[in-house]
């Protein structure tokens, strides 16, 4: 299965991992970062010291464990630095103007996200993920923009299902009509 980054969420990744589903699903920053490369001060470039439970930035500053949290059903740990005040790379590393020190969040599904990035970066991953651009995306575009169906007019799940079934039937009839050659006289 593959889906675009709009379907990405921490809970989705967690579900995919728990159910062992073979999927190609990039996170929201994947495409941007693969085009421009990861920044030096991206949290993925921080080294982890397992013995001291701390991270080390590119400038050698330590980020110590601060607290646990949960966001959208996904657990994370927050690590904070205390030595950023005089760092010459502070403006490159800390993007929030009011922040005094760098902090990073380490999510419980970060390892899964890393594996997904690696999977999507392989030739097979690129090929499989690009299939949706040829199969699914044109259908949505034609239904939304050419046929003008961009919102449901009926209320209630049952009525919306009927409405969408009619739209899909109309789309399929249109596709069949394009394949049928007119009889020559």
- Read off the pLDDT of residues 70-118 as tens digits, 9 standing for 90 and up: 988 889 999 999 989 888 888 888 888 888 999 999 998 888 888 888 9
Say if CB 25 and CB 3 are below 8 A apart: yes
Mean pLDDT of the chain: 86
Helix axes 110-121, 10-19, angle to 10 degrees: 80
Q: How many beta carbons lie within 10 A of that of residue 110, not counting itself?
A: 16
Q: H/E element holding 65?
A: strand 62-71
Residue with tokens 């397992």: 50
pLDDT at 31: 67
**Does residue 184 surpass a pLDDT of 60?**
no
**Does residue 182 surpass a pLDDT of 70?**
no
Strand 62-71 with 74-81, pairing:
antiparallel
What are the structure tokens assigned to 109, written together? 């599904």
Longest dimension (CA), the chain: 85
Ranges 19-33, 39-53, 61-75, most confident: 61-75
**CA 92 to each of CA 2, 41, 127: distance values in angstroms, whole numbers, following the listed order:** 35, 7, 35
Instruction: Output 27 or 106, whichever has higher pLDDT.
Output: 106
* Range 19-47 average pLDDT: 77
**CA 160 to each of CA 23, 137, 169: distance values in angstroms, whole numbers, following the listed order:** 28, 21, 14
pLDDT at 153: 93
* Range 32-61 average pLDDT: 81
Residue with tokens 């920053």: 29
**How far from chain centre, in Å, is Cα 142?**
24
Compute the distance between CA of residue 23 and CA of residue 15 in angstroms, rounded to an integer. Answer: 11
pLDDT at 164: 95
What are the structure tokens assigned to 167, written together? 């739209």
Say if CB 51 and CB 62 are below 8 A apart: no
């Amino acid at each position: 299965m593959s889906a675009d980054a709009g379907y990405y969420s921490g809970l989705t990744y967690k579900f995919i991992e728990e159910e062992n589903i073979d999927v190609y699903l990039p996170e929201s920053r994947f495409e941007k970062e693969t085009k421009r490369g990861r920044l030096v001060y991206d949290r993925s470039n921080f080294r982890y010291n397992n013995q001291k439970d701390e991270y080390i930035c590119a400038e050698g500053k330590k980020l110590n464990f601060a607290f646990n949290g949960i966001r959208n059903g996904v657990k994370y740990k927050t690590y904070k630095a205390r030595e950023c005040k005089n760092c010459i790379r502070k403006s490159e590393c800390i993007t929030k103007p009011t922040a005094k020190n760098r902090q990073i969040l380490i999510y419980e599904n970060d390892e899964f996200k890393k594996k997904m990035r690696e999977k999507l970066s392989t030739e097979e991953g690129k090929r499989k993920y690009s299939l949706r651009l040829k199969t699914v995306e044109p259908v949505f575009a034609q239904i939304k923009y050419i046929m003008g169906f961009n919102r449901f007019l009926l209320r209630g799940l049952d009525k919306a299902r009927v409405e969408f079934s009619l739209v899909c039937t109309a789309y399929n009839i249109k596709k069949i009509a394009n394949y049928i050659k007119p009889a020559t006289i």
